[in-house]
Structures are given as C-alpha cells and as structure tokens.
Amino acid sequence: MILTPDIYVIGLGPGGACAAYEAAKNSFLTIGVERKKIPGTPVQCAEFIPALMGNMVNNLRATCVQNITSMHTQVESSPADIIADFPGRMIDRAAFDTALAQEAQNAGVQCHYGQSVRHINHDGAISLANGTKIKPKVIIGADGPHSLAGKAIGSINNEILETRQISIPLLKPFKSTDIFLKADIRGGYAWLFPKGKTANLGVGIVASDKARLKPILDTIHKSLVDEGRVGAKTLSHTGGAIPAGGMVMPHGMLGETLVLLIGDAAGLTNPVTGAGINAAVISGRLAGEAAADWLQGDDDAPKHYHEDLTDLFGASLRRALDRRRALLQNYDNNNTPTPDDLRASWIAYSEYWAA
C-alpha cells in the first residue's frame, strides 16, 4: 500500500509543526513524520527564544520557564560586557514542541512519531524504515542540518557546527544569557542559560574539533563550580549538529513532486549565534502557505517562497557568515584570534555590525 497525501512533512519540530498546520488549515491532506517518539525529546537546543516570538506562537507563555532581560559576554578572561536590554524567554522545548504539534493535529494533520525516513527517490517517492511507502505531491523537509529532503534535491549544508550541552544545578539565579568567547573554541562559543533552578551549559565548535567538545565543556563547568554559580552534578546531556554555512536553495523538484526546505534543513540557522527556532517557525509557516498555493495552481509559489526567505533572512545570514569566516581565517593562517577578533565576530559588539 502506498500513502498519497497532498503534503508530507518530514520532521515535526517547531518548523515542521508550523508548516503542517498551515498546510492542513488550507484543507490539504497533510501527514507529518518524526523520528523522535516524544516531541522535543531529547532536547537538542539551548532553549532561548527572542521576545518577539511571543507575537507569533500561541501558548508560548505556557512553555516559558523564565524570562531573560540581558546578555553578558565574556571575552577570554576579561570582565563581562553587558547588553542590558536583551529580552527573551527560556522555554521548556519539549513542551513547546508538543504544543505546536497539538495545534497541527487539531488542524487535521496526521502526526506519526517514532518513525524515520530511510530514502527519498528521484521521483519523490518516500520509503520509511518500517517499510511504509509514501508518494506525496509536496514534501516539506524539516529534517535538520543533514536533511534527506535537501540531499534529494542537491541542497546540502556543507558547513556544520557540533555542539554538546549539559543541564546542571543553578546555585545563583540570574536573568541573562551568558556568552563565553575564547580562541580555544574554534568557530563557536560557550553559553550558560538559566532555567529557574537549573541551567543549560553548552559549547559549539567546528565539526573537525568535535572530539574536544567534552573536555572544553568540562573545563568551563569546573570554572563555574569554583565560582559558586552552579553545582558539580550533571543532570543530563545532549548534543547535535547546527548548519553554519548560510541558506541553501530551499526548493526543488523530484519528478512532479515539489520539495520545500525549512529551518535547519534550509540553512536558516544563524552561523554565528546558532539561533534557529525563530527562523524555523517563520519558514515553516511560509512553506506551508507556499505548498498550499502551489497545489492550488500557483506555479511561482516556490520562487516566491525563496524570495521571502531571502528578504527576511538573507542580510543577517550574509553578515553572520562573513564574520564567522573572517574569524576562521585566523586559524587557517595559523594565527590565534585576538580578543578584538573575537569581539568583531559576536553580535554584542559594534564591530560586528560595522559595514
């Protein structure tokens, strides 16, 4: 038996759930598949979202763990530089994903969890690991930086950051996102984000240095323990890949099947900060609308989707990519980045925003 939905969404994270919701809202038969058995679990995210997202996602406050008011950035061992007005929220990512998935289901989306895509054929036919076959009219790839949907149309994220994050007890509550910039963390940074009585401590680094993630994180953890800010116990740990090469071509055809990419699959994650939830939600909604428009006869819908993404994210992605590559050039030239180089690569400093 072959399933023949109008729209098939691969990945039911925030972006995929929003795409599926928009598609189903337009009365198209929409099926979503997610390899995780439980939405958002395990968490592979620092769980910070900007305050502006509160206007875009229903029930966001219900998933908020604590408010964020500022950003503190420490360059090497210097005192932290403070941006006092940097509002946002720390969320319960599992609850956030669950709420969005429930909205999609309420709109009529058939959501299947604990199932993974094994192969996407050149004609758009999909095979799941459990043997199920699907032949949709539209595929929406919300399947992350190593997207099978993206691979099928030749849109591949070639630059990747690897991350590791631990949840630890928080001994001294605070309301800032704490950023640590060090030359030793090549192509990335470390973070400490508070979540009430716990905190997320993580580090991102170029993929070639992946083996160094744990020792770097252990060193920073020990330093924070010595300062009395956090406890020594590790409550949980996670990690994953982040695209860091900017936007890839977000649409293509497999035979008569349209493919649209969103979020990480489309390379919309900021190459410097690694922030991606906002872009995933926005691109997901746009992709769901574009899929519906295309099915209703608008042949230019994929092109317009690409134009919308470029208008929304193009400039910020290009700037971030330029700053990241300028920083990495130091390592390529066998030079150690200076504190000024590190500042120029981070959003908290005027050098980052200079023309």
The structural domains of the chain, with segments of one domain joined by +, span 2-52+89-158+244-317
- Residue 50, pLDDT score: 86
If one looks up domain 2-52+89-158+244-317 in CATH, what number appears? 3.50.50.60
Nearest to 190 by CA among 198, 351, 182: 182
- One digit per residue, the tens of pLDDT, for the chain of length 355 reads 799 999 999 999 999 999 999 999 999 999 999 999 998 888 878 899 988 776 667 667 778 999 999 999 999 999 999 999 999 999 999 999 999 999 999 999 999 999 999 999 999 999 999 999 999 999 999 999 999 999 999 999 999 999 999 999 999 999 999 999 999 999 999 999 999 999 999 999 999 999 999 999 999 999 999 999 999 999 999 999 999 999 999 999 999 999 999 999 999 999 999 999 999 999 999 999 999 999 999 999 999 999 999 999 999 999 999 999 999 999 999 999 999 999 999 999 999 999 7
DSSP codes, 85-127: ---EEEE-HHHHHHHHHHHHHHTT-EEEES--EEEE-TTS-EE
DSSP state for residue 230 in the 8-state scheme: B
What residues have CB less than 8 Å from 324, skipping those under 6 apart? Answer: 187, 244, 271, 272, 345
pLDDT for 40 equals 82
- Cα angle 294, 150, 37 (rounded to 5 degrees) comes to 95
The predicted model scores a pTM of 0.96
